[in-house]
Chains A and B, each alone.
Chain A
Amino acid sequence: MGLLTILTVGIYRFWARTRLRRWYWSALRPGGFPLEYTGTPLEKFLGFLVAVVILAFYIGVINLVLIFLSFSLLSAPGAAYLLTILGVIPLWFFAAYRAQRYLLARTRWMGLRFGLEPGAWGYALRACFHWFLTLLTLGIWHPRLRYALARYRHNRTFFGTQRMEQGGNRTMLYPAFVHVMIGGFLTLGAIYETAPELGPFFAALESEDFSSFEASSPSWRLFYIAIPWLIFGLVYYGVEGRKLLINTLSVGETGFDIRPRIGKVLWISISGNLARYGAVTALAMVASLLLIGGALTQGLTMEEVSEGDPETLFRAVTQDLPGWLSTAVVVVFYFLIFLMWNVLTHVFLTMPTWRHYAETLNLTGTPHLATIDQRARDESREAGGFAEALDVGAAI
């Protein structure tokens, strides 16, 4: 499917995404019943076109006017770029909410539709407000943000005719955040302690010459603890936070009991990342071996090969080939990497993570479900098109 997407300049991505979602949804079986995804590729494509028409106007004209104003009033482009980005941020949250609404409107379980009430602008407003506070507090506000946004979404989510309800309270995610804080403080402390040596360190990094650089401060070792702790903290916050949110969620009298294991998720993310980075590195090594071999057969000496940068080598190898052929080789190689990356991410990261969450999920109070009735179809015309155009980057 990735291949078809590339061959159709990205148009097949709507079809690919639909099929992927059908597959992922069917793999999730809360209470033994698979979810069903009923979205269609064409409505996604249409929604994308609608979004492009609207955004083309917004981005084209607004960009132009902002650049003009910025240069005529301030003689610098900075303000315009800042304003353009600031102008897109609310749109981004808006798009995310609309995409979520479309997704839920096309998701069924036990024959009933899910749904999300309209409220994208309110969501965008709250998201902007909470993100502002989060930036202001160096991230310490984030658990509040996460809870507030989850609550806003969940309290507007329906299963059939039954509204969901997010329980818990706004500070309940802080226990899950504790390792991020520890890791963050350790990292900040390490940066503070080693601050006088950071300049020379980055200079050495840039010139790739560490011979003159000597770490004298013992605080460098702090990084060995701080960075892993921070990474662990982020994974822990992701998993534990999700668990807390889902376990306090209810659909009428039906509740959730999810018990993801942090070790398992950590293992999936480590092994998955190793797999995809490893595969891409392997591919790059094969390519450089080919390049070196090619350069040697072209009569370059071993010395020239080891001295030359990849570009010179590539030129030397492809000098006898027509220009279009060498371009084609580069393009094919680029897409090969892109394809492999996508496939490996699905196989080793996304799917195992989803499966783990699904496997550890249990429903309580299920008899209540039988009393829930079907809800009307939500057309959701733009079908996640804004999110697609703005590259909001949903998981699938």
Chain B
Amino acid sequence: MTTIRIGAAPEAYEGKGLYLDGASAEPRKAELRIDEARRALAILMPRKDPVYWPLTEIRKLPDQSEQDMAVMRLAKDPLARLILTTAQDQEIMRVRASELHRRPPVEGKRRLVVWGASALGAVALMIFVLIPFLADNLAGLLPASGKRALGESVFEDVRVALDRTGVDPLPLCEGPEGLAALEKMGTRLFPNQSEEEALVVHVLDHEMVNAFALPGGIIVFMRGLLEKTETPEELAAVYAHEVGHVRALDPSRIALRTTGSAGVLGLLLGDFAGGAAVLFATNRLIQADYTQEAEAAADAFAHQAMLDADLAPEALATLFKRLREEYGEPEGVVQYFLSHPSLGDRIEAARAATPADATFRPLLEAAEWDALRGICGE
């Protein structure tokens, strides 16, 4: 071979390696040369045709644990390997093979995009369409005892989640005179409760200004709300509003919906069957962002219930108005009451539902009201 070189000629390289052809598990001892004419590494083995690896196509396997051994491959050949065991051979390779560390091009980018999008789509479809659809339909099919059991189990979760330590359930307020006053309020509002529709009312010792309904007719007031209401009628209006949600099965829907979507979200976040999902679920229930229609329907139900019990629906308006004045823009603890942009409308509706010439009977004696507001003691 005649090669004309200008300048100092590279020293002739004579190295050794182990060649694995990738077709059988037989390592072959190989002599290594650099064929300058072909600009390739010549791998010479006894009784076999020489193999030429173009220098620019040689790659070194990345992330190897020890440096005493280096494994080479050819960019386009997934199988054949050349093992170099001496530092000198590795050094020659480092100098001569210019693209030893070039990464292989990323394959299947399009497939990734397609699958990524469909995975997101499928999860969104589950959470926003399929699960709500199923939940809405199944909620109506739950028997009363099932709803009550569901509500009770959710209530336990809520109590644990609301507790600061997150271990013990939040205590219930059970001042006997206060409970009697609550009972009186319930009977006045809903005198003819059937067995199926029986209500259970709890007061939780928590400063949040909030009330919520759970499946199976469980109504929960927070201490914070009792402190913010000024008349028994205001509390009664909230009471009736929550019962409106119960009758419309809103809590059952949300409870079923969150059990479904919590599992899916947990899966995505790698927190399968984990605590975050439960937290998320209970949070959803307390905050209970029902649709505007559901809120309006529950309000309308409350107005009617108040009127039927000779109470002024306007109490709801006075409470909302005071809370809005006190807290200004909706945020934090009163979010539940103020989260809807139509709050002004709801105040108007409560006023409009109150006939100008109607007469109302008082709900509770002053002593009873005091007992109710002090139901948590101290």
CB-CB under 8 A from B149, the residues of chain A are 71, 75-77
A71, B147: Cβ atoms closer than 8 Å? yes
Partner-binding segment picked from B40-48, B131-139, B318-326: B131-139
When distances are taken between beta carbons in the complex, the residues of chain B under 8 Å from A110 are 20, 25-27
Chain A 40-68 interface 0/1 with B at a Cβ cutoff of 8 Å (1 = within): 10110110011011011101110111011
CB pair A53 B119 closer than 8 Å: yes
Contact check, B108 vs A55: say whether CB atoms are below 8 A apart: no
Q: Does B24 lie within 8 Å of A372, measured CB to CB?
A: yes
How far does the Cβ of B67 sit from chain A's closest Cβ, in whole Å? Answer: 11
A-B contact count, CB below 8 Å? 160
Name which of A20-28, A171-179, A292-300 contacts chain B: A20-28
A391 lies within 8 A of B272 (CB): yes
Tell me which residues across on chain A come within 8 A of B135, comparing CB atoms: 64
> Chain B contacts of A10 at CB under 8 A?
269-270
Q: Which residues of B contact A60 (CB under 8 A)?
A: 126-127, 130-131, 260-261, 263-264
Tell me if A59 and B264 are in contact (CB < 8 A): yes
CA separation between A391 and B268, bound complex, in Å?
A: 11
* A22-B61 in contact (CB<8A): yes
Question: How many residues on the A side are at the interface (Cβ–Cβ under 8 A)?
Answer: 54
Q: A390 touching B26 by the CB < 8 A rule?
A: no
Contact A111 B118 (CB under 8 A): no
A34 and B25: CB pair below 8 A? no
Q: Is the CB of B111 within 8 A of A46?
A: yes
Given contacts A57-B126, A71-B147, contact A27 B23 (CB under 8 A): no
Q: B71 in the interface, Cβ–Cβ < 8 Å? A: yes
State whether A33 touches B27 (Cβ < 8 A): yes
Contacts A36-B81, A57-B122, A111-B25; is A26 near B153 (CB within 8 Å)? no
Q: Are A370 and B24 in contact (CB under 8 A)?
A: yes
Contact B81 A59 (CB under 8 A): no
Identify which of A26, A65, A112, A372 contacts B64 (C-beta below 8 A): A26
Is B260 a contact of A75 with CB atoms below 8 Å? no
Report the Cα distance A60→B272, complex, angstroms.
Answer: 12
* Interface flag for A271 (CB, 8 Å): no
Q: Which A342-396 residues have C-beta < 8 A from chain B?
A: 369-374, 389-391
Q: Which of these, B26, B62, B107, B119, contacts A49 with CB under 8 Å?
A: B119
Are B256 and A67 touching (Cβ within 8 A)?
Answer: yes
Specify which chain A residues have a CB less than 8 angstroms from the CB of B61 in the assembled complex: 22, 26, 36
Instruction: Report B57-75 residues with CB < 8 Å from chain A CB.
Output: 61-66, 69, 71
A selection of 13 A-B contacts at a CB cut-off of 8 Å is A26-B63, A38-B78, A53-B118, A56-B122, A56-B123, A57-B122, A59-B263, A64-B131, A64-B256, A64-B259, A72-B143, A77-B153, A389-B272
Known: A52-B122, A369-B25. 9 other contacts (CB 8 A): A52-B268, A56-B268, A60-B130, A61-B126, A63-B260, A64-B138, A85-B273, A110-B26, A374-B23
What 6 pairs across the A-B complex have the smallest Cβ distances?
A: A111-B20, A27-B65, A64-B260, A22-B63, A75-B149, A370-B26
Residues of chain B having any CB pair with chain A under 8 Å: 20-27, 61-66, 69, 71, 78-81, 83, 106-108, 111-112, 115-116, 118-119, 122-123, 126-127, 130-131, 134-135, 138, 141-143, 145-150, 153, 164, 256, 259-261, 263-264, 267-270, 272-273
> Which residues of A approach B to under 8 Å, CB–CB?
10, 19, 22-24, 26-27, 33-34, 36, 38, 40, 42-43, 45-46, 49-50, 52-53, 55-57, 59-61, 63-65, 67-68, 71-73, 75-77, 85, 109-112, 159-160, 311, 369-374, 389-391
